[in-house]
A and B are shown apart, each in its own frame.
Chain A
């Protein structure tokens, strides 16, 4: 058998590389290739990809890749160092490479690639073929092409249209498999139907006469992400292919089938058990208010040990610790542990046991990417949250997320479509986000200014909503020292340069509903500056927060994206030394946009400067068209934060 496999590979390797669907010969160097000196619109770029090809034949089971790159700067020479990772399921069929000098002379790569072990385990071996092309200079064109093949599996593929280099011309070609496929975990159905979807703004692929799918594009700019941009997976244009059965006729059919399968699976798990009803009754005993009852059931479900937020374990560890996969909510209740989705299902069972109408909603995770109905991958809706009818209204709840308070759904699952499961396969619903007033960072500082301009005092911080939830989830991975350091580093980032924050106490790490409260001692050297008889004191103690960084540049390519809506509320009470009177107190500000607002009030009386500040960000996505207005808003915020209280030393003034 081994010999037969070897022969098959040899056959594939020695076949002329031109006998498949597309030409795999070296392409001619065009006049344009020779003349190009810089990347259009991006001078100084290190290299430009003149041509890229990705040809794949799932019947013949091979893939062919071709890169032609022109080196434009010294830095660009790094593109001659090539590393081709090959999965264990693929056979590498060889690489050819060459360097074409500006004078047209060609230096072939005549060596053999080195085999680098990326990782080798007892069962698997991930290798990379590495090579470096010779005699590369600025102005050289380098090109290399390689092919790999496989015997058994056919997996869904994709075409990444945008590369790290500007690409002058690219050519994609895929011939789908004509025979029945094996099902893998990503596919709901079986069959050889091949569907594809286009994400991004470019000319879509077309079908060729022989049934292949083909795409030719020109002048694709290099991909560059931006700070506070939506997830990269939502920005990069791509064509995704999906193998499957009849469910691929349309996305509606796919998700309907998905919904039916997941509904059956979750209902089987939830079941209808006396033990659950008993547990529900015990949880709400004596309570008559519906909302309070539901809250008690929610709290009961959340007492379950949540394995999804613990360290990843090996099977062996699970076995030693006697952690078994739960088969139903009875197991979850009896064993006292479960995954995110187990706990969501337990809550549904408890709620139903107490007479509530509760359903599972399969939710997306926009930390990775936003839900795309045409992206036919079931894993998009992997998490389960719950919708409960309460006093005639739908209430979305997230019991499977550790520390998620009643009434809140973790931000990663909100502002996006999820699927509410029912017998017919489910319906899409938008999972509502929490408004900014639900996620608040409140900072109250009581500080005293020393004669040398340094500042000392206390800072009380209260975090609630999504902010508190994320802090608590982070803290699960940390010990006491790590939590303290994390909090101190965060507070240090708020304070002016050189500021020190020392955690005095923290309340609420283990709480779900209560805000997280942190008490710090703070110090800022040289907070105020002396200018002759005057003392100049910054009106804001806290630096304009990170949102400002998203608005640093005049122009932006992608939307600005904040994970969740939130408010910052600050109150600073600053005691100044004796002998000063206010010469100028910064004026109050109130700057508004539809989804943002910034309000300040400042006063000085009886040696006390009181500065209040509120920043409201009540949105998560700010489109490019809104950017200029928003940039101006945040410039004003920064300007207001940098204003100064001017005090005069009365003794010096009188003396003068």
Chain B
């Protein structure tokens, strides 16, 4: 279990940086922090922020200079990474200075300067962006070491906003935010996930400070960190920055609308393709579907984000020619194509993680994804669609995400449901609540027709039909695997619960037809399924599928419990009994009903067939912390039901 550093780049970084900080010039502010009496924290707190002092200076010309001092004390081996700090830069953001120091528990001191930092580009395999970061990695990263970093960053923001994140995954002893503003500039401070505090103000300087902020803890299925952590958004206003602030969602919409003006202009090739894909002879909805499928499948995801390219899409004509682009490019090319058939569509800027934007979120631009709202003419609405949003001004808007190629037109990816996004119209913008699908639209229906042999072997076929987001997850899990690998994955998945489990045949239907339910059918043999106990044969009628969610009963729960989306899961199992055996005893039926969910099951005998059925309905995307005890009871009852066995007896 020893960790070994094998990454050659990491080794190079480790051995080549920080070779020149012989005489550490630890500043007084850090030395004072290192000498202050230690407070007591939970034994699994990896580190503590001793001080985070962020000072933002707004210049009259619109430049923003951030000066930050941050100091951590490492409390556990897992906290060693706090000896590493990064600061980003790009064509509009410059790092004026960057230094770091460490003071070990033994009193050894180290210093690293900007020239000791290493750099790397951000972005993964599917993107190129010009943003880089400088990273300082300090020596002496042991338990008890205090590390400190100080940097100054100058930027010309596209939007006049600043953020103060004062809550972390580790405790924060003190966090301070200072804002210096020139005359004629104003600000608005909005607090999120924390009670608002008034600043101390003097001569154009405002100072906020919080102390002893508890850490955000990890829990099973908790909301995203950013939806929980306290932070403040500062919006800056000035006549010099008109149209570059976000006083309201409408302002933000106007800014984005202007930024993207003209990008949806079509090229002749694009127009020709629309005629080919969506001829007027087709019903309107089918024309729209043909174009959405094109954006999903034929425009490959690859992001090139340089400068303002993080916000502004590439021109539709260019995207169409290259057939690749990021989320906003895909939305753009689709919007341009829809316009060719007379269907108007609007950008919806969202965060791909639910909970970060809520109805209480102040206007700000920290979105990370773009989808599209397609304005549906009445003629185009032939069915009730879960992703339909009715806007008082714009009418029926079908929200669609062209980046996710596994969610069909009419549905939304689960992570965007019950979230909030900025609908950008021609005249401005508004924050809208993205629709949530009902449990009936997200189903797994499993039907098992099985036969039990006298030696305990279970054979038969299971059909699993998935719809909605559960179909999407199934496709994500299996679609990109080869046939051989799919079989292995299923064996690996079910095998631990079914002795001697082997898939005999396997079939996946509609894997590429996302408009249809995903159907998984497999025949299997489990050679050690039922257990012989003298004249008895013990059978678990549930056979497959574990529905109870992960839950830590050893600790008090702090946060709500998140579900991907509402769902309905049902199992029907029929086990034909071996000749000469009859059902002697059956498990008790289960019935657990709570305001947010319901689980029922029953086992019964029907001739020589043991029948088991169950249904689990989850009505919500989130169970609040006040109802967590009910959720724990629900999971416990499901767990008990899943372990129950029926007793078969050999007849004389």
Name A's B-contacting residues (CB within 8 A): 39, 42-46, 73-75, 77-78, 80-81, 83, 114, 116-124, 126, 130, 132, 134-137, 224, 309, 311-317, 320-321, 453, 470-471, 473-474, 476-482, 485-486, 496-498, 500, 502, 525-526, 529-534, 536, 543, 548-549, 552-554, 583-584, 586, 635-636, 638-639, 642-646
- Asked if residues A554 and B77 are in contact (CB atoms below 8 Å), the reply is no
**Closest chain B residue to A126, Cβ basis:** B9
Q: List 13 interface pairs A-B (beta carbons < 8 Å), by A numbering.
A: A42-B482, A42-B484, A117-B120, A124-B12, A311-B80, A320-B108, A320-B110, A477-B3, A482-B77, A498-B639, A531-B587, A642-B499, A642-B531
* Complex contacts, B636 vs chain A, CB 8 Å: 525-526
Q: Please report the number of residue pairs spanning A and B whose Cβ atoms sit closer than 8 angstroms.
A: 230
Instruction: Write the nearest CB–CB distance from A90 to chain B, whole angstroms.
Output: 14
Q: A44-B481, A120-B119 are in contact. List 4 more A-B contacts (CB 8 A).
A: A119-B9, A525-B636, A529-B645, A583-B533
**Chain A CB within 8 A of B322 CB:** yes
- Give CA–CA (A321, B304) in the complex, Å: 47
- B120, B126, B554, B586: which contacts A502 (Cβ < 8 A)? B554
- B18, B480, B528, B535: which contacts A642 (Cβ < 8 A)? B528
- Give CA–CA (A645, B538) in the complex, Å: 10
**Chain A CB within 8 A of B142 CB:** yes
- Asked if residues B500 and A314 are in contact (CB atoms below 8 Å), the reply is no
8 Å CB interface, B131-151 against A: 132, 139-143
- Asked if residues A479 and B479 are in contact (CB atoms below 8 Å), the reply is no
Q: Mark B99-122, 1 if CB is under 8 A from A, else 0.
A: 000000000101000011011110
* Complex contacts, A586 vs chain B, CB 8 Å: 531, 533
Question: Assuming A130-B128, A477-B77, A526-B639, is B2 touching A646 (CB within 8 A)?
Answer: no
* Complex contacts, A44 vs chain B, CB 8 Å: 481-486
Number of interface residues of B (CB under 8 A): 93
* Complex contacts, B5 vs chain A, CB 8 Å: 312
Query: B199-207, B235-243, B359-367, B490-498: which one contacts chain A?
Result: B490-498
| Top 10 closest pairs, chain A to chain B, by CB | A474-B1, A639-B528, A532-B585, A584-B533, A44-B482, A584-B534, A75-B480, A481-B43, A120-B119, A526-B640
**Closest chain A residue to B481, Cβ basis:** A44
- A114, A635, A646: which contacts B499 (Cβ < 8 A)? A635
- Asked if residues B14 and A314 are in contact (CB atoms below 8 Å), the reply is yes
* Complex contacts, B43 vs chain A, CB 8 Å: 479-481
- Give CA–CA (A122, B15) in the complex, Å: 11
Question: Assuming A45-B482, A479-B143, A482-B76, is B640 touching A120 (CB within 8 A)?
Answer: no
**Closest chain A residue to B142, Cβ basis:** A311
Instruction: Write the nearest CB–CB distance from A438 to chain B, whole angstroms.
Output: 19
**Closest chain B residue to A526, Cβ basis:** B640
Instruction: Write the nearest CB–CB distance from A344 to chain B, whole angstroms.
Output: 18
8 Å CB interface, B498-523 against A: 499-502, 512
Question: Assuming A477-B77, A529-B640, A552-B492, is B119 touching A117 (CB within 8 A)?
Answer: yes
* Complex contacts, A126 vs chain B, CB 8 Å: 9, 12
* Complex contacts, A549 vs chain B, CB 8 Å: 492, 495-496
- Give CA–CA (A502, B552) in the complex, Å: 13
* Complex contacts, A529 vs chain B, CB 8 Å: 587, 640, 643-645
Most buried by A among B13, B512, B640: B640
* Complex contacts, A553 vs chain B, CB 8 Å: 488, 491-492
* Complex contacts, B602 vs chain A, CB 8 Å: none
* Complex contacts, B297 vs chain A, CB 8 Å: 74
- A73, A83, A122: which contacts B116 (Cβ < 8 A)? A122
**Chain A CB within 8 A of B647 CB:** yes
- Asked if residues A552 and B12 are in contact (CB atoms below 8 Å), the reply is no
**Chain A CB within 8 A of B300 CB:** yes
Q: Mark B23-54, 1 if CB is under 8 A from A, else 0.
A: 00000000000000000000110000000000
- Asked if residues A534 and B647 are in contact (CB atoms below 8 Å), the reply is yes
Instruction: Write the nearest CB–CB distance from A85 to chain B, whole angstroms.
Output: 9
- Asked if residues A136 and B300 are in contact (CB atoms below 8 Å), the reply is yes
* Complex contacts, A473 vs chain B, CB 8 Å: 1-2
- Asked if residues A497 and B496 are in contact (CB atoms below 8 Å), the reply is no
Question: Assuming A80-B300, A117-B132, A586-B533, is B500 touching A470 (CB within 8 A)?
Answer: no
**Chain A CB within 8 A of B553 CB:** yes
Instruction: Write the nearest CB–CB distance from B476 to chain A, whole angstroms.
Output: 11
**Chain A CB within 8 A of B395 CB:** no
- Asked if residues B304 and A114 are in contact (CB atoms below 8 Å), the reply is yes
- A315, A320, A548, A554: which contacts B502 (Cβ < 8 A)? A554
- Asked if residues A118 and B3 are in contact (CB atoms below 8 Å), the reply is no
Question: Assuming A43-B482, A321-B108, is B125 touching A635 (CB within 8 A)?
Answer: no
**Closest chain A residue to B80, Cβ basis:** A311
- A123, A471, A485, A638: which contacts B16 (Cβ < 8 A)? A123
- B77, B324, B495: which contacts A132 (Cβ < 8 A)? B324
**Chain A CB within 8 A of B323 CB:** yes
- Asked if residues A643 and B302 are in contact (CB atoms below 8 Å), the reply is no
- A137, A315, A474: which contacts B2 (Cβ < 8 A)? A474
* Complex contacts, A317 vs chain B, CB 8 Å: 108, 110, 139-140
- Give CA–CA (A126, B640) in the complex, Å: 55
* Complex contacts, B141 vs chain A, CB 8 Å: 311
- Give CA–CA (A548, B108) in the complex, Å: 50
Name B's A-contacting residues (CB within 8 A): 1-3, 5, 9, 12-19, 21-22, 43-44, 76-78, 80, 108, 110, 115-116, 118-121, 123, 125-126, 128, 132, 139-143, 297-298, 300, 302, 304, 321-324, 405, 456, 479-486, 488, 491-492, 495-496, 499-502, 512, 527-528, 531, 533-536, 538, 546, 548, 553-554, 584-588, 636, 639-640, 643-647
- Asked if residues B639 and A525 are in contact (CB atoms below 8 Å), the reply is yes
- Give CA–CA (A136, B298) in the complex, Å: 8
**Closest chain B residue to A134, Cβ basis:** B322
Instruction: Write the nearest CB–CB distance from A587 to chain B, whole angstroms.
Output: 9
- Asked if residues A646 and B77 are in contact (CB atoms below 8 Å), the reply is no
Instruction: Write the nearest CB–CB distance from B649 to chain A, whole angstroms.
Output: 10
* Complex contacts, B3 vs chain A, CB 8 Å: 477
* Complex contacts, A130 vs chain B, CB 8 Å: 128
- Give CA–CA (A586, B528) in the complex, Å: 14
- Asked if residues B536 and A584 are in contact (CB atoms below 8 Å), the reply is yes
Instruction: Write the nearest CB–CB distance from A124 to chain B, whole angstroms.
Output: 6
* Complex contacts, A485 vs chain B, CB 8 Å: 44
* Complex contacts, B496 vs chain A, CB 8 Å: 543, 548-549
* Complex contacts, B640 vs chain A, CB 8 Å: 453, 525-526, 529
Instruction: Write the nearest CB–CB distance from A365 to chain B, whole angstroms.
Output: 10
- Asked if residues A116 and B121 are in contact (CB atoms below 8 Å), the reply is yes
- Give CA–CA (A311, B639) in the complex, Å: 43
**Closest chain B residue to A133, Cβ basis:** B324
- Asked if residues B488 and A118 are in contact (CB atoms below 8 Å), the reply is no
- Give CA–CA (A480, B512) in the complex, Å: 50
- Asked if residues B322 and A120 are in contact (CB atoms below 8 Å), the reply is no
Question: Assuming A120-B120, A646-B533, is B538 touching A536 (CB within 8 A)?
Answer: yes
* Complex contacts, B115 vs chain A, CB 8 Å: 122
Instruction: Write the nearest CB–CB distance from B448 to chain A, whole angstroms.
Output: 19
Instruction: Write the nearest CB–CB distance from A50 to chain B, whole angstroms.
Output: 18
- Give CA–CA (A553, B636) in the complex, Å: 32
Question: Assuming A74-B297, A136-B300, A584-B534, is B2 touching A477 (CB within 8 A)?
Answer: yes
Most buried by A among B44, B302, B553: B302
- Give CA–CA (A496, B497) in the complex, Å: 11
- Asked if residues B533 and A120 are in contact (CB atoms below 8 Å), the reply is no
- Asked if residues B1 and A470 are in contact (CB atoms below 8 Å), the reply is yes
Question: Assuming A117-B120, A317-B140, A639-B528, is B480 touching A73 (CB within 8 A)?
Answer: yes
Question: Assuming A116-B121, A583-B536, A635-B528, is B139 touching A316 (CB within 8 A)?
Answer: yes
- Asked if residues B482 and A314 are in contact (CB atoms below 8 Å), the reply is no
- Asked if residues B645 and A531 are in contact (CB atoms below 8 Å), the reply is yes
- A39, A118, A121: which contacts B17 (Cβ < 8 A)? A121
Instruction: Write the nearest CB–CB distance from A208 to chain B, whole angstroms.
Output: 32
- A43, A75, A316, A486: which contacts B479 (Cβ < 8 A)? A75
- Asked if residues B18 and A314 are in contact (CB atoms below 8 Å), the reply is yes
Instruction: Write the nearest CB–CB distance from B242 to chain A, whole angstroms.
Output: 34
